[in-house]
Structure 1
Amino acid sequence: MVNIILPIDFGDKTEQLVDGAVRFAKEVNGKIHLIHVAPSDIGFAIGDMGFQYFPEVEQNEIREELVQLNKIEQRVLAQDVECEHYLKQGIAKDIILEYAKAKGANYIVMGSHGRSGFYDVFVGSLTKGLTKNSPIPVLVIPIHDN
């Protein structure tokens, strides 16, 4: 079985990315390993008293993200593709590569919105970072506005 790592960010193009990964998984007899990397600073806020940590905000956000991951997993399973999910907080590129190695991944599937220039300079591109640093092949699925 081919192990496919599919990072999910719950963006507006997530469904298109999942659909592309499912098609690929069916072609190669693959299992999809969904992963969402939550930021380490979810529960932090800045206000009049400086930085404050709100663990209940972090717990609620993580709980909601797990619900969303489970829904995506169920959607993939309903299309007769094996699937599991994983959520961890940290630096996305590092966590994804660690997870891919632990799962013996054959591919990492990422989406590309086709942005460049200032977007990459100011926001950065996880897909770009993974393609430059991954020892595992990265399949990039173009995601476009319809």
Structure 2
Amino acid sequence: MKKIILPVDFSDSSNQLVDYAIGFAKEINAEILLIHVAAADIGFVIGDMGFQYFPEVEENEMKYELKELHKLQEKVLANGVQCSHILKQGIPGDTILEYAAENSADYIVIGSHGRSGFYDVFIGSLTKEITKKSKIPVLVVPCHDEN
């Protein structure tokens, strides 16, 4: 069975991306491996006293993200496609590509939010990074927030 890595960020367009991946997985007889990469510094804040770490903030955020991943997994499974999920912390592009290699994935399906210009210059584009560095085919799905 083929494997599709599906990075999700829980934005409004994540459902569009999951719907596309479900259809693609059915066409090629593949399973979906959902991945969400959380920031490595979720519990850190900067204030008057410098950097402070609040483990409860990190714990609550990780619980929320796991719950959201589980919801997406249930959606995929309900559509008759095998699915697993994982939450990792790290640098998104590197973490996704490492996960794809570890799992001998056949494809990465990733969304493009259609941002350009200053956004890419200052923030960078995960989709652009993945397509440049990936050793396996990357399908870029145009996703647009409903608003």
1:120-131 mapped onto 2 (5 Å cutoff)? 120-131=120-131
**Match for 1:140: what amino acid?**
V
| CA distance, structure 1, for counterparts of residue 145 and residue 76 of structure 2 | 22
| 1:21 corresponding residue in structure 2 | 21
1:24-43 mapped onto 2 (5 Å cutoff)? 24-43=24-43
Which TM-score applies when normalising by structure 2?
Answer: 0.97
**Match for 1:107: what amino acid?**
Y
User: Does 1:93 pair with 2:113?
Assistant: no
Which TM-score applies when normalising by structure 1?
Answer: 0.97
Residues matched between the structures, number: 146
Post-superposition Cα deviations, 1:67-114, rounded to whole Å, max 9, x if no partner, equal 110010011000000000001100001110110011110000001122
1:3-82 mapped onto 2 (5 Å cutoff)? 3-82=3-82
Q: Residue 97 of structure 1 aligns to a residue in which SS?
A: helix
| CA distance, structure 2, for counterparts of residue 126 and residue 140 of structure 1 | 11
**Match for 1:16: what amino acid?**
Q
Q: Does 112-121 or 97-106 show the bigger shift? A: 112-121
**Match for 1:71: what amino acid?**
K
Identity of aligned residues (%): 66
RMSD: 0.9
Q: Residue 88 of structure 1 aligns to a residue in which SS?
A: strand
1:145 positional shift: 4.6
1:64 positional shift: 0.9
Post-superposition Cα deviations, 1:103-139, rounded to whole Å, max 9, x if no partner, equal 1100000011222111110111100000000111100
Q: Which runs of 5+ in 1 are unaligned?
A: none
| CA distance, structure 2, for counterparts of residue 78 and residue 116 of structure 1 | 35
**Match for 1:60: what amino acid?**
N
1:19 positional shift: 0.4
**Match for 1:50: what amino acid?**
G
Q: Which runs of 5+ in 2 are unaligned?
A: none
